[in-house]
A = this chain, B = another copy of it.
Amino acid sequence: MGDERQEYTVTFLPTGRTSRVRAGTELLKAARKAGLHVNASCGGAGVCGKCRVVVEQGRVLGGKSEKIPAASYEQGYRQACSARVCEDVSVRIPEESSRRGGLGTAVPQRNHARRHVFDMEELKQEGGWFPSVEKVCIELSPPAGHDNRADAGRLLQGLSAQYNRKCELKSLVFLRKLGKALRRDNFQATATLEVPVNQGARYRLLDIQPGYQCHRNFGLAFDIGTTTVYGVLIDLETGKFLAEASCYNPQMSYGEDVISRIIHAEKPEGLDVMQNLVIEAMNRLITEMLAKVQTPTALPDRLSGRMLDRLDQLPVARDEINSVSIAGNTTMTHLLLHLDPSSIRRAPYVPTSTFFPSFRAREIGLDLSDTCASLVYPSISSYVGGDIVAGVMASGMYRSEQLTLFIDVGTNAEIVIGNRDWLACAACSAGPAFEGGGITHGIRAVEGAISDFSLNPETLEPMNITEGGKAPIGICGSGLLIIVATLFEHGVLNQSGKFNPLDHPRIRKGRSGQEYVLAWQDECAADHDIVINEVDIENFIRAKGAIFAGITTVLQQVGLQVSDLERIILAGGFGSYIDLDSAMSVGLLPEVDPDKILYLGNGSLAGSWMCELSNHIRRDVVEAVRKMTGFELSEVPGFKDQYMASMFLPHTDLGLFPGIAQRVRENKKE
């Protein structure tokens, strides 16, 4: 198959549309990318036999099936769902696979958000690269008769004279190491300093090592998710990423959501168990990352410019990790720090604290040096946690002039709206629809999950695209969004999310109201037809309605409108793969120029990471949190109305969605 990174051009006839795809891409996906609909319900299993195309020039790999007679195969017929690109190729979409005889049907391009790229070089240029811990090599004059200052005073004065670092010494642990560390290499030593968050404040002495070790400075960033724990190991002297690791949050065995975790934590020793589980997971990840990485080579001392001996490529040692930044939602943070979470789940939903003092990593049981400093992101409220604050910090919206909507969709959706002058936030009880919850055939984005879809508007035949090109087994969140949007745009669904009375074999009455059959049982890897029904759609609308109502309610509270939004930043797994046009069609996202939408990825991890690289973040977060007004939506009078108005596709007020209103009108005319 050649180099998989190689890209080739696929030309589709008769339209002449082309797409550039990587070697190995199925022709079906290449067509989708070219904006062409090809009937296909089995998702690539090759059993429906509907997606036949003819290769007219060039070669493809595979694409054979029993639905293609040998003679047709010889003529170049292939199943688009299983034929893979291996060179430039021209392919004709025959009439029966398409909409109007021989013309590939145009379908909307999928519009994913641009990735918000974290640019280390830019950070450095802006002076933002400023780790919270630094190491400096210091050369002190040894004590003599006329100069018998104590070790500590000598060091403090040396740091002031040689590096202009005014330091404070608050740790007995440090003092205990000092005498021997200074004397081993004749008063040449390396000090580890915690950089003050506020300008003019004193540096804090964390650690002291004999000799020159100032390029050995490492940090960890963690995202403690309800489902997954992610860690990243970073070289704080270069800013380089060294290793990452992740695992399920082992608290999962006590329930998937935060409420079940809290209930368990309220039992005798329950909080101990919860804390231990996550700490053990973090310790395992640390060990895994340390095993993965070899040390970078020796470097000049960043502060003195002194060139240091090139050291052997030793692995990073556990006690060379000097700093840990952690972000998680409010409950995860409480469990991590062994804080009583019980009032989080009871009205009026009060956490023990929304800010957390810095501490030694050892204090909570992390298997790191006893001088390693640790910081946990502050929260806003019980349901807008440090993960969201971290995302806001990583997104930079707190220092932008642009009015930005930050949105992190998971089981709940949290939204933050604002700019450098003010920030407002809320948690929306979206429910688990976007993760497949409450949807008859909803699943996570595993192999066989329908994740993309289009509809032949003539025949209402589907084009199902599945994860991994496998026979469909269900619908994942991004697929659900596109399916609902597509069915609505083509008049299959009305504005209330109900099926219009159409006479079609795929539209029928099921156990939960009317339903559309996406794939028949014999095209599936399931023992039933895969459908989407009115109850599914209602649940979906509830979820998207909660989010949109949250957005409009918060905007209303601050006297603004959806049209004022200048930028949208999507965080969380869901944000990476949602189709923006569909999201606007159904009224999940406000209608804006898709170029204004950015995808941040795991905002919580990005925020912790930033916190390791840039001490400015630690200063700014205090200010950002102070600025951030949290709204408890259920307590805001106008919310219920907004929610009711959002329980439509896309909304009762089509004036909010002029583009979609236009498209729906056009589709109706056709």
Contact = CB atoms under 8 A, between A and B. Distances in A.
Interface stretch (A347-355, A563-571, A639-647): A347-355
Interface-centre pick from A143, A171, A172, A355 (highest chain B CB count, 10 A):
A172
Interface string A40-61: 0000000000000000000000
Copy tally for this chain in the complex stands at 2
A352 B152 contact: yes
A146 interface: yes
A427 interface: no
A551 interface: no
A186 to B, nearest CB: 13
A353 B150 contact: yes
Question: Chain A: interface residue count, which band?
Answer: 35 or more
A628 to B, nearest CB: 13
A175 B353 contact: yes
A340 B179 CA distance: 6
A292 interface: no
Contacts of A148: 348-350, 381-382, 632
A363 interface: yes
Interface string A186-201: 0000000000000000
Nearest to A205: B357
A422 B178 CA distance: 30
Contact of A364 (B146, B172, B350, B635): B172
Nearest to A355: B152
B145 A348 contact: yes
B357 A169 contact: yes
A541 to B, nearest CB: 27
B153 A354 contact: yes
A254 interface: no
Contacts of A446: none
A145 B339 contact: no
A540 to B, nearest CB: 30
Nearest to A351: B150
Interface string A271-311: 00000000000000000000000000000000000000000
Contact of A340 (B172, B180, B340): B180
Nearest to A342: B179
Interface in A624-640: 632, 635
A274 to B, nearest CB: 13
Interface in A161-210: 169-172, 175-176, 178-180, 183
Given A180-B340, A337-B175, A340-B176, A357 B170 contact: yes
A150 B352 contact: yes
A151 interface: yes
Given A143-B348, A348-B143, A635-B145, A152 B354 contact: yes
B144 A352 contact: no
B151 A353 contact: yes
A359 interface: yes
Nearest to A171: B357
Interface in A344-371: 347-359, 363-364
Interface-centre pick from A152, A170, A356 (highest chain B CB count, 10 A):
A152
A383 to B, nearest CB: 10
A338 interface: yes
A343 interface: yes
Interface-centre pick from A150, A339, A352, A381 (highest chain B CB count, 10 A):
A150
Given A151-B352, A151-B353, A339 B176 contact: yes
A350 B151 contact: yes
B149 A350 contact: yes
Contacts of A382: 148
Nearest to A349: B148
Given A359-B172, A363-B172, A354 B150 contact: yes
A418 B360 CA distance: 42
Nearest to A381: B148
A147 interface: yes
Nearest to A170: B357
Given A144-B348, A151-B351, A348-B148, A356 B179 contact: no
B632 A172 contact: no
Contacts of A348: 143-145, 147-148
Contacts of A172: 337-339, 356-357, 359, 363-364
A172 B360 CA distance: 10
Contacts of A183: 343
B632 A145 contact: yes
Given A143-B350, A151-B352, 19 more contacts: A143-B343, A145-B347, A145-B632, A148-B349, A150-B351, A151-B343, A151-B353, A152-B355, A153-B353, A153-B354, A169-B355, A172-B337, A172-B338, A172-B357, A175-B352, A176-B339, A179-B339, A179-B340, A183-B343
22 contacts: A148-B348, A148-B349, A148-B632, A149-B350, A150-B352, A150-B353, A151-B353, A152-B354, A153-B353, A153-B354, A169-B353, A169-B355, A172-B357, A172-B363, A175-B339, A175-B352, A176-B337, A176-B338, A179-B340, A179-B342, A179-B343, A179-B352
